Amino acid sequence: MDPRPNHVYESLSAREAIRILILYPTIDFQAPLEAHFEYNSKELPRDTTISCQGFDAVSYCWGDPKFTHFIYFKNFTRGRIPSLVITAKVDSMLRHLRKPHKERRLWIDAICINQADTEEKTLQVPLMRSIYRATLKVHVWLGAGGKFDAQAAFTHLKRIVVADELEKETVSFPNQFRKDCAATQSTLQQLFLNPWFTRRWVLQEITLAHEITVHYGYDKISWNWFAKGTSLLPELDERHKTQARCASYQPYIVAKKAIETSLKRDSWLPDLLLEHIFAKCSDPRDRFFALYGILGRNYSGSETAVGRYDQRYSSSHLHILPEVDYTKIWVETYKRLAENMIQLQRSEFWYHLQIFGSIREDELMAPSWVPD
C-alpha cells in the first residue's frame, strides 16, 4: 500500500484520461520542486508518432520505497504546500530533468497514477502502451552519478560504433583503441550492474518509445548509440581479444536481452517469459502485466491477444490474456493464463512448465499445473 496522502489526486474524468506532471523551471538545482497536474481527458493516440499535447515519459527503477522528499503543488489560495511525498531517487531524477527556463511535461507512473487507488491503477496500467507510444521522448534514468564514470562508459560505447564502421570500410583503427577497450571494460561492467536493466517494466517502455535518451546524472547518450554500442560488444571482445570480456558478463547478457526485445517486431508471451526470467517486479501479477504492452494489440478491453500479428492460430482459439485487474490475487491471474494456454494447446507453455515447474507448494490455492 502506498503510504502517501492522496489529496493531490482528483478523480480522472474519463476511462482513458491521464495526468501529466507539469514541472516548473528554475536555474537553482537546490530549489524546491514545484509542479501541478494537467488532466488530459482526450483519447490517447495509439498509432501516431507523437501526442498533440506533447509530453515526455520517464523509465527508471523505483528503488528504496522510503518517502522522504516533497513536490510542492501550486495552490493560489493557500500558497505552496507539501502536496506529494516522493522518494529520494525520484527527487534527484526530477531535479536533473528540470529545465532552467521552461516547464517540462512528464508522465511518471509512480506519480501520475494514484498508486493507493487499486481501481484507478487497474484502469491506468492498460493505457501504458498508448502512453509510451504517444510520448515525444522517453528519458531512461540510471541514477545521479557518484563514483561511476558514466561519461567514460557512454563515450566508449560511441567509439565502439565508430570503430565498427571504420573496420567495415577496411580502415585500420589505431592500436590505442585496443588499449582503451581493456581500460574501459570494468567501467562498462559497472554500467550493466545498474538495477534498471533488471526491471521488468522497462521492456515495454523502451520498446514502445519513438525517441530515447539515457541519463546518468548530467551525462547522457541517445538510445541509438547506446543500443548499438552495447550490441557490438561481443564482436569487440572477439576482434580485440579483450581480457575482461563484457559479452560473458551476466549483467551484460540481461541488458542485451532487453535491447534485443526492444528491436523485435513480433513477440509471443511464452518466449518473453523465457527470455526475461530474471527481469524483476515487485508485484507478482506484473510478471505478465508488464509484458502486455510489448504484444501487438491494445489491451484496454477485457481480453487481449497473446501474440503480436500471430496468424498461426484462428480467432476461435482462446488466445487471450487475463485482463489487468489488481483487485484479484495473483494466483487467479496465473490460473486464468494457464487455462487459456492449455486450451490453446501451445507446446511453448509445456516447455515453460518444464523449465520453471509448478506453483510454490505453500500456495495451496493453486492447482499444480499453474506456472510459477
For residue 174, what pLDDT is reported?
55
Please tell me which residue, 314 or 65, carries the higher pLDDT value: 65
240 has a pLDDT exceeding 50: yes
For residue 316, what pLDDT is reported?
33
Let me know if residue 9 belongs to a domain.
Answer: no
Let me know if residue 229 belongs to a domain.
Answer: yes
Q: For residue 162, give the 3-state DSSP assignment.
A: helix
Residue 57 pLDDT class (50, 70, 90 cuts): very high
For residue 295, what pLDDT is reported?
75
Domain count for the chain, please give it.
3
Give the domain-ending residue among 136, 166, 201.
136
What does DSSP say about strands 18-23 and 33-40: parallel, antiparallel, or unpaired? antiparallel
Give the domain-ending residue among 105, 136, 167.
136
Let me know if residue 362 belongs to a domain.
Answer: no
Give the domain-ending residue among 210, 228, 263.
263
What does DSSP say about strands 56-60 and 104-107: parallel, antiparallel, or unpaired? parallel
Residues 130 and 157 grouped into a single domain: no
Let me know if residue 74 belongs to a domain.
Answer: yes
Residues 206 and 314 grouped into a single domain: no
Helix (H) or strand (E) holding 348: helix 347-356
68 has a pLDDT exceeding 70: yes
Quick one: average pLDDT of 25-31? 97
**Would the pTM count as exceeding 0.85?**
no
Let me know if residue 365 belongs to a domain.
Answer: no
* Maximum mean pLDDT: which of 81-90, 266-275, 304-313: 81-90
Residues 258 and 162 grouped into a single domain: yes
Residues 288 and 259 grouped into a single domain: no
Residue 328 pLDDT class (50, 70, 90 cuts): confident
20 has a pLDDT exceeding 90: yes
Let me know if residue 349 belongs to a domain.
Answer: yes
Q: For residue 80, give the 3-state DSSP assignment.
A: strand
Residues 87 and 194 grouped into a single domain: no
Residues 204 and 291 grouped into a single domain: no
Q: Look up the domain containing 311 and give its range.
A: 279-356
47 has a pLDDT exceeding 90: no
The lowest-confidence range among 147-156, 214-223, 348-357 is 348-357
Q: For residue 18, give the 3-state DSSP assignment.
A: strand
Q: For the segment 31-40, what is each residue's pLDDT rounded down to a tens digit?
A: 999 999 988 7
Residues 257 and 286 grouped into a single domain: no
The lowest-confidence range among 52-66, 219-233, 287-301 is 287-301
Residues 66 and 159 grouped into a single domain: no
Let me know if residue 274 belongs to a domain.
Answer: no
Please tell me which residue, 323 or 104, carries the higher pLDDT value: 104
Residues 285 and 352 grouped into a single domain: yes
Q: 509471443: which residue's cell?
A: 268
Residues 26 and 129 grouped into a single domain: yes
Share of the chain above pLDDT 90, in %: 25
Number of H helices and E strands in the chain, helices first, is 14, 11
Q: How far apart are CA 18 and CA 239, in angstroms?
A: 49
The lowest-confidence range among 97-101, 199-203, 299-303, 325-329 is 299-303
Residue 248 pLDDT class (50, 70, 90 cuts): low
The β-bridge partners of 81 are 73
Residues 129 and 160 grouped into a single domain: no
Quick one: average pLDDT of 223-232? 89
Let me know if residue 364 belongs to a domain.
Answer: no
Residues 291 and 249 grouped into a single domain: no
